[in-house]
């Protein structure tokens, strides 16, 4: 069989059926859920953020034909499958407690006071099962119940705040908000302070960098570009002991 | 012999003295225990509703973690954790229908059928070490210390998880005798301290706890030994309120049985015993008996 050059270039996309909020669409099989929805005529106004799998705006739940289980994924990262029944849950209402950070001390009791519903957890694990980032949500809630803020911070580190955990919780916990306060308390009170940061802030306060910044502000655009492009850069392969020759501002 | 250790939430917060003293004592006894790397709250209270299986999920999950760790035995220190884990274990062992329901629900976990042995440290010491051997290992006998063993409810009820005869237990008596203490028998040893009533109906709990304390001191006890953080809360931490409320009630130090074990094994440091969490009189009494420096 002979083919022309034009024909060999032409690739027919295989179309597969998916169901968006109950309605069937035929979409190319290689698309992500987000692209497939756009292909089907949906336009995102909300429920779409970074398109890179980190912002958590496009969390989606779906089922597959003949399978009782609920699946989840980020629409921008998950590739469509035939007979996928899907709906986006871009936002799920969950109480976020307000507090004055200046008055906090980094104690577990502060979290217990702000989120007493923490103790409604029955360890059903539905939160972990739905998490599109594979965070062990139930485990960080368990850690907080025993006052281990540092463990909760560690376990919840990959959370992107999509809220699917809260959507499944039979104890009605806002897990992702609780994890956030745990990470904030851990960062502010429970982990070592960066000593060099204090020095830098003190340097700024004494006006050490004022002159340099003023000279940058006074440059015209071309001079600014030249200064930027001519700056000394760390080589692609540099040893741990590499330091710039010009280090008067460090 | 390597065994899993399930601490429970309270031992990581309000009852650190129960944990630190127990871990040091177990180490001194040569017991290799490993805290579970993953564990969740046991639920604290075993649900009595026949169809309330969701509250059995938490303790069963912890038992699965024990099995996953490659151990066949788990030791607990808190008597409420012991009770909840042991009852969940019994249910998974004996009730085929509920076992299937729970295993089906936890489809992300391996099936569980009660394969793990749940111990409280007290019956573990009795069965795996024995009182005679424990007595030999005592370095600082608690001579002249008049201690009343207080059992509370959850180590002995219901009968199928009781660590000793529910109506006439000796285990805490024998334990204290092995440590060289003078054991003070008193009827209140099996009475309820009032438990969670301290929140909803504090008058009832304080009254119940007061009766226990008065009974113990009335029989000549200088201190109480117990295993339950909630009993300790009611009998120990609420003692000041009781003493203002009830005329003639005498101050009495409350110890976790593990603190007395640690002291008897010669472990007298503050890091081990954390007497700062007990009533002030707890440390003073032991000092007055020259049991700690």
Q: Are residues A145 and A127 in the same domain?
A: yes
- Is there a domain that residue A166 lies in? yes
Choose the final residue of a domain: A54, A88, A122.
A88
- Is there a domain that residue A95 lies in? no
Instruction: Using CA atoms of A22, A27, A29, A30 in order, give the dihedral in degrees to the nearest 10.
Output: -110
Q: Look at A146 and B12 and tell me if their CB atoms are within 8 Å.
A: yes
The 3-state DSSP class for residue A141 equals: helix
Write down the mean pLDDT value for chain B.
96
| Tens digits of residue pLDDT in B125-163 | 999 999 999 999 999 999 999 999 999 999 999 999 999
Interface mutation vs chain A, best among B6, B8, B9, B80, most A CBs within 10 Å: B9
Q: Is B57 on the interface with A (CB under 8 A)?
A: yes
Q: Which residue has the tokens 């463990």?
A: A151
Q: Are residues A135 and A161 in the same domain?
A: yes
CATH numbers and ranges of domains, chain B: 2-121 (1.20.1050.140), 131-288 (3.40.50.11810)
pLDDT-based confidence at A180, cuts 50/70/90? very high
Q: Which residue has the higher pLDDT, A127 or B51?
A: A127
Range of the domain at A202: 195-225
| Tens digits of residue pLDDT in B225-257 | 999 999 999 999 999 999 999 999 999 999 999
- Write out chain A residues lying below 8 Å of B12, CB-based: 146-148
Report DSSP state, residue A79.
B
Q: Is A146 on the interface with B (CB under 8 A)?
A: yes
Cα separation values, B144 from A13, B147, B171, B188, B263, Å: 89, 9, 20, 21, 14
- Is there a domain that residue A6 lies in? no
Looking only at the bridges linking them, the beta strands covering A84-88 and A15-20 are parallel
Q: Look at A146 and B9 and tell me if their CB atoms are within 8 Å.
A: yes
Q: What is the pLDDT of residue A246?
A: 81
pLDDT-based confidence at B169, cuts 50/70/90? very high
Q: Are residues A27 and A47 in the same domain?
A: yes
Q: Are residues A79 and A143 in the same domain?
A: no
Q: Are residues A114 and A174 in the same domain?
A: yes
Q: Which residue has the higher pLDDT, A128 or A196?
A: A128
- Select the residue of B8, B9, B38 nearest A139 (Cβ to Cβ): B38
| Tens digits of residue pLDDT in A218-247 | 999 999 999 999 988 888 888 888 888 887
Whether residue A248 has pLDDT greater than 80: no
Q: Are residues A18 and A81 in the same domain?
A: yes
The alpha carbon of residue B216 is apart from the nearest alpha carbon of chain A, in Å, by: 32
Question: What span, in angstroms and rounded, lies between the C-alpha atoms of B159 and B140?
Answer: 34
Q: Are residues A209 and A177 in the same domain?
A: no
Number of domains in chain A: 3
The alpha carbon of residue A232 is apart from the nearest alpha carbon of chain B, in Å, by: 47
**Which CATH number belongs to the domain containing residue A23 in this structure?**
3.10.20.30
Whether residue A5 has pLDDT greater than 70: no
**Which CATH number belongs to the domain containing residue A180 in this structure?**
1.10.1060.10
Q: What is the pLDDT of residue A8?
A: 65
Query: Using CB atoms and an 8 Å cut-off, which of residues 82-111 of chain A contact chain B?
Result: 108
The alpha carbon of residue B10 is apart from the nearest alpha carbon of chain A, in Å, by: 7
Q: Are residues A175 and A106 in the same domain?
A: yes
ipTM of this complex: 0.92
- Is there a domain that residue A105 lies in? yes
- Write out chain A residues lying below 8 Å of B85, CB-based: none
Q: Which residue of B has its CA nearest to A143?
A: B40
Q: Which residue of A has its CA nearest to B12?
A: A146
Q: Are residues A111 and A185 in the same domain?
A: yes
- Write out chain B residues lying below 8 Å of A170, CB-based: 54
The alpha carbon of residue A4 is apart from the nearest alpha carbon of chain B, in Å, by: 53
CB pairs under 8 A between A and B: 44
DSSP code per residue over B28-50: HTT-EEEE-SS-----SS---ST
- Is there a domain that residue A7 lies in? no
Counting every residue, how long is chain A? Answer: 250
- Select the residue of A124, A128, A147 nearest B57 (Cβ to Cβ): A124
- As given in the structure block, the two tokens for residue A9 are 């270039």
- Is there a domain that residue A70 lies in? yes
- Is there a domain that residue A58 lies in? yes
| Ramachandran sector of residue A117 (left: φ over 0; alpha: ψ -120 to 50; beta: rest) | alpha
Q: Are residues A105 and A137 in the same domain?
A: yes
First to last CA, chain B: 33
Q: Look at B13 and A108 and tell me if their CB atoms are within 8 Å.
A: yes
Q: What is the pLDDT of residue A11?
A: 77
Q: Are residues A18 and A60 in the same domain?
A: yes
Task: Kindly provide the b/e burial profile for residues A130-143, where b requires at least 16 CB atoms within 10 angstroms of the residue's own CB.
Answer: bbbbebbbbbbbbb
Q: Are residues A37 and A76 in the same domain?
A: yes
- Is there a domain that residue A83 lies in? yes
- Write out chain B residues lying below 8 Å of A142, CB-based: 39-41
């Amino acid at each position: 069989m002979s083919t022309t050059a034009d024909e060999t270039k032409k690739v027919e996309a295989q179309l597969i059926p998916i169901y968006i909020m109950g309605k069937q669409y035929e979409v190319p099989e290689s698309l992500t859920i987000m692209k497939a929805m756009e292909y089907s005529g949906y336009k995102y106004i909300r429920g779409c953020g970074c398109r890179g799998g980190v912002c958590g705006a496009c969390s989606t739940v779906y089922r597959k034909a003949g399978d009782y289980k609920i699946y989840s994924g980020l629409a921008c990262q998950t590739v469509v499958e035939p007979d996928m029944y899907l709906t986006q849950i871009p936002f799920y209402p969950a109480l976020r407690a307000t507090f004055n950070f200046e008055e906090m001390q980094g104690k577990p009791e502060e979290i217990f006071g702000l989120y007493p519903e923490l103790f409604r957890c029955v360890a059903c694990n539905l939160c972990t099962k739905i998490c599109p980032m594979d965070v062990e949500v139930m485990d960080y809630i368990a850690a907080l119940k025993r006052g281990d803020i540092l463990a909760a911070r560690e376990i919840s580190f990959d959370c992107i705040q999509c809220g699917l955990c809260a959507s499944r919780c039979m104890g009605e916990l806002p897990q992702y908000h609780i994890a956030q306060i745990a990470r904030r308390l851990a960062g502010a009170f429970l982990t070592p302070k960066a000593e060099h940061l204090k020095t830098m802030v003190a340097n700024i306060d004494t006006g050490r960098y004022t002159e340099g910044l003023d000279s940058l502000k006074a440059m015209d655009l071309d001079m600014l570009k030249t200064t930027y492009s001519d700056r000394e850069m760390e080589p692609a392969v540099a040893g741990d002991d590499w330091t710039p020759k010009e280090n008067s501002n460090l | 012999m390597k065994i899993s250790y399930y601490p429970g939430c309270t031992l990581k917060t309000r009852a650190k003295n129960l944990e630190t003293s127990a871990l040091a004592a177990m180490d001194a006894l040569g017991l290799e225990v490993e805290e579970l790397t993953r564990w969740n709250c046991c639920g604290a209270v075993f649900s009595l509703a026949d169809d309330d299986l969701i509250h059995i999920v938490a303790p069963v999950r912890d038992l699965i973690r024990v099995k996953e760790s490659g151990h066949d035995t788990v030791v607990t220190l808190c008597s409420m954790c012991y009770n909840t884990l042991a009852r969940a274990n019994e249910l998974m062992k004996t009730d085929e229908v509920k076992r299937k329901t729970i295993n089906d629900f936890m489809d992300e976990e391996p099936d569980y059928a009660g394969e793990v042995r749940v111990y409280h440290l007290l019956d573990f010491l009795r069965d795996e070490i024995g009182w005679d051997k424990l007595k030999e290992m005592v370095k600082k006998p608690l001579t002249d210390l008049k201690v009343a063993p207080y059992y509370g409810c959850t180590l002995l009820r219901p009968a199928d998880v009781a660590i000793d005869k529910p109506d006439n237990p000796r285990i805490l008596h024998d334990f204290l005798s092995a440590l060289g203490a003078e054991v003070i028998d008193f009827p209140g040893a099996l009475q309820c301290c009032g438990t969670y009533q301290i929140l909803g109906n504090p008058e009832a709990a304080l009254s119940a706890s007061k009766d226990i304390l008065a009974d113990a001191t009335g029989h000549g006890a200088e201190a109480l030994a117990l295993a339950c953080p909630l009993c300790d809360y009611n009998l120990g931490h609420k003692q000041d309120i009781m003493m203002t409320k009830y005329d003639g009630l005498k101050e009495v130090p409350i110890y976790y049985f593990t603190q007395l074990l640690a002291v008897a094994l010669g472990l007298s440091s503050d890091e081990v015993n954390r007497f700062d969490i007990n009533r002030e009189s707890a440390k003073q009494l032991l000092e007055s008996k020259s049991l700690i420096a």
